[in-house]
Amino acid sequence: MAEPLRIGIAGLGTVGAATVDLLRRNAASIAARAGRPLEVVAVSARDRRRDRGVDLTSLEWFDDPVALARAPGIDCVVELMGGSDGPAKATVEAALGAGRAVVTANKALLARHGAALAALAEAKGAGLFFEASVAGGIPIVKALRESLAGNAITRVSGILNGTCNYILSRMELEGLGFAEVLADAQRLGYAEADPTFDVGGFDTAHKLAVLTSLAFGVEIDADAIHVEGISAITPLDLKMADDLGYRIKLLGVAERTATGIEQRVHPTMVPKTRPIAQVMGVTNAVTVSADAVGELTLVGPGAGGNATASSVMSDLVDVARGVTVAPFGRPSASLEKAERMPMQRHEGGYYIRLSALDRPGAAAGIATRMAEKQISLESIVQRRPSGASTDRSGRSGTPVPVVLITYATTEAAIRAALDAVLADGHIAEPAQLIRIERDLD
């Protein structure tokens, strides 16, 4: 059998430790598939004393991950530290600069510096692999880069953050508020102490930036992504969605349109008939629409040590086999600069929840503002709070939840109409706005 692939791992958190354990546990079968043994020979982490559940005594230890990346006797560097800059970026650059293959799970690094790192890898003849950077154990990177290479892809969308999906699932099933479920998610380890990166949609946006480049052959442009989080979603929104035949999911969507590539992350009402609507809890899912295969949905664990280590291992096996592939599916110099599509041009249906003042003329005024912007309403649902007192006319004098479902219109028209409704004083607070993905029907 050929000489072993000598691996250095920078970062020994949950995924790093799981990678060491998985490689040892399945060493024989991995070597048989790769055609050579894979051996971890060196590691780097901040705390040598921490118990990580795996025996590291036989491995060379580096306090400086950049020194590990440059050390002799290492063929491949696995970067699992995280962060878009700092030690992670320096370590990857050092390894690629030395002509060594890099395997990384760092979506933030790729979203900000993916194009430059791909160019460096190509210039040095080194591989840059990142299956573990998106959707944990789901093999979506290879699917887009290799398995679907013969397809013209029109759309990629998915549930890319398990924390958000867990929160929305529990809110829907148990009728709980966002803050209560978030606190539970933090206690269970599904959410960080500062959850902004997850619940604000930014983690999903980084992953979407990687998928967009792979799907459409364009330069990564994370700043082009419209991002909204889930903190404003209420139990009432989830109940109304359920009544209307939808589920609310935080989706990342990249789509080629006639005017550019639309990239957006936001809560979305998805028809319950769609496979992605059935994905609950911390699970992830990605749907690809293409001309040859039609629609393909991959579902699986989106995070966790073993699931992510599985994707790391698939890349390591490719390195051991000597697989040569452009990081983003084509030479970095040929990646196009995508035409950005402003969110104002987005077209689709909308769910609008208004806290309408229960007084004469309010409903007519709201309808007039919608009509002025040529917005057609499919349905109007009014939910008077139970127990609210009314006057002789039957009005309560307090805000009443009113839900409007629109036919396809533009984001710009919706925003202009809602600004006018708010200025007219017909609603007590800014409207709740959730996009409907009817084109999935």
Bridge partner residues of 287 (DSSP): 157, 297
Question: Is residue 207 annotated as a catalytic residue, yes or no?
Answer: yes
Calculated CA dihedral for residues 133, 78, 88, 202, nearest 10 degrees: 10
**Nearest of 346, 347, 353, 342 to residue 434 by alpha carbon:** 353
Q: Tokens 């980084």 identify what position?
A: 206
Token pair, residue 1, equals 């059998």
Could you write out the DSSP letters of every residue in 5-60? EEEEEE--SHHHHHHHHHHHHTHHHHHHHHTS-EEEEEEE-S-SSS--SS--TTSE
Residue 403 phi/psi, 5° resolution?
-110, 125
Radius of gyration, alpha carbons of the chain: 25
DSSP label of 81: S
Number of other CB atoms surrounding residue 98 within 10 Å: 15
Q: Point out the catalytic residue in the list 107, 142, 207, 249.
A: 207
139: which DSSP letter? -
CB burial string 273-288: b at 16+ within 10 A, e below: ebebbebbebbbbbbb
107, 134 contact by CB (below 8 A):
yes
Residues with catalytic function: 207
